[in-house]
């Protein structure tokens, strides 16, 4: 770990960003350029004290999760992200296999979506970042680790919680869609990839998955219309719009409802009720 280089890099990248670049209000007049330390800490979901120590060359080596969070918060490019990994004491991630770094362009769009639930997912249905409205509707995805970060994996290993978000009549269709999506990712990334690891583990533990996997369906798409189930408000019909990166490794998903509709009223109530605990 190169503390000097890390501190200097974090400082310069923080100075480069404006509050509007990350969806924050400028507030009162600023005496120094860029974001404040507490704003970077907020965006990276860490304490201001921890971030300050990194900039003051006295912090401990940050974990890989912290490095990834800082890369997102500072809107780093892939090259800058790789550099951050190296000065933090880690090897740069394999770009062909690493899907955790959200493209800066995606983050800029997400920053401007406050009223509608929106989130960025990988090809393995891993929620990489989500706004407050999405957390309120679908729960906080940051609590998952390992293979459980994948919604595909959780669908078959934690059906008692994952499937409660969809009407029972849609469970079979959702199962087929998720397996077909995993098949597409498996073909693109290979057997030794994270997709291969998920497929192997589900083949060992889920007969339902095995039966669907053997059908050889391949499909990488999102339903344009779906019904979600909220524990307090019941069914909510939403339209689902997806914006893909050029290589289709990540997707920005935005959930909306027609203005004035019952579903639109429910989405507004969801924001008031706050984050689900399931």
Q: What is the pLDDT of residues 250-267, one digit of tens each?
A: 899 999 999 999 999 999
Q: What is the pLDDT of residues 137-174, one digit of tens each?
A: 998 888 888 899 999 999 999 999 999 999 999 999 99
In sequence order, what E strands does 50-162 have?
Answer: 118-122, 127-130
Question: What pLDDT score does 235 carry?
Answer: 94
Distance CA 218, CA 238 (A): 25
User: pTM for this structure?
Assistant: 0.67
**Was domain 105-168+221-273 assigned CATH 1.10.3470?**
no
Where in the chain are the domains? 3-87, 105-168+221-273
Which of 46, 49, 52 has the alpha carbon at shortest distance from 14?
52
Q: Give the DSSP letter string of 135-196.
A: HHHH--GGG--GGGGBHHHHHHH-HHHHGGGS-GGGHHHHHHHHHHHHHHHHHHH-TTSHHH
CB atoms within 10 A of CB 1: 13
Q: What is the pLDDT of residues 48-61, one digit of tens each?
A: 999 999 999 988 89
Q: 189 and 97 in contact (C-beta within 8 Å)?
A: yes
Distance CA 237, CA 151 (A): 20
Same fold? 3-87, 105-168+221-273: no
Residues 6+ apart with CB under 8 A from 244: 250, 251, 252
Question: What pLDDT score does 100 carry?
Answer: 65
Beta-carbon-side half-sphere exposure of residue 224 (alpha carbons within 13 Å): 0
DSSP 45: T
Residues 6+ apart with CB under 8 A from 182: 124, 152, 195, 198, 199
| Strand order through the sheet with 225-230 | 127-130, 118-122, 250-256, 234-244, 225-230
**Was domain 3-87 assigned CATH 1.10.260.40?**
yes
Question: What pLDDT score does 237 carry?
Answer: 94
């Amino acid at each position: 770990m190169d503390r000097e280089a890390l501190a200097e890099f974090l400082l310069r990248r923080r100075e480069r960003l404006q509050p509007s670049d990350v969806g924050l209000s400028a507030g009162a007049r600023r005496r120094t350029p860029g974001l404040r330390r507490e704003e970077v800490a907020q965006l990276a979901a860490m304490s201001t004290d921890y971030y300050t120590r990194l900039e003051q060359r006295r912090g401990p080596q940050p974990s890989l999760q912290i490095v990834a969070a800082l890369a997102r918060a500072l809107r780093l490019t892939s090259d800058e992200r790789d550099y951050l990994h190296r000065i933090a004491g880690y090897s740069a991630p394999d770009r062909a296999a690493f899907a955790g770094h959200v493209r800066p362009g995606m983050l800029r769009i997400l920053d401007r979506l406050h009223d509608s639930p929106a989130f960025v997912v990988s090809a393995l249905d891993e929620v990489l970042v989500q706004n407050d409205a999405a957390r309120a509707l679908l729960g906080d995805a940051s609590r998952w680790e390992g293979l459980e970060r994948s919604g595909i994996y959780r669908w078959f290993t934690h059906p008692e919680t994952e499937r409660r978000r969809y009407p029972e009549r849609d469970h079979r269709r959702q199962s087929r869609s998720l397996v077909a999506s995993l098949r597409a990712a498996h073909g693109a990334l290979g057997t030794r990839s994270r997709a291969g690891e998920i497929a192997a583990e589900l083949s060992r533990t889920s007969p339902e998955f095995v039966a669907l996997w053997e059908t050889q369906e391949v499909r990488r798409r999102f339903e344009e219309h779906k019904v979600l189930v909220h524990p307090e408000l019941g069914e909510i019909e939403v339209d689902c719009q997806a914006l893909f990166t050029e290589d289709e490794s990540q997707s920005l998903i935005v959930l909306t409802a027609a203005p004035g509709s019952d579903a639109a009223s429910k989405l507004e109530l969801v924001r008031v009720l706050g984050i689900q605990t399931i």
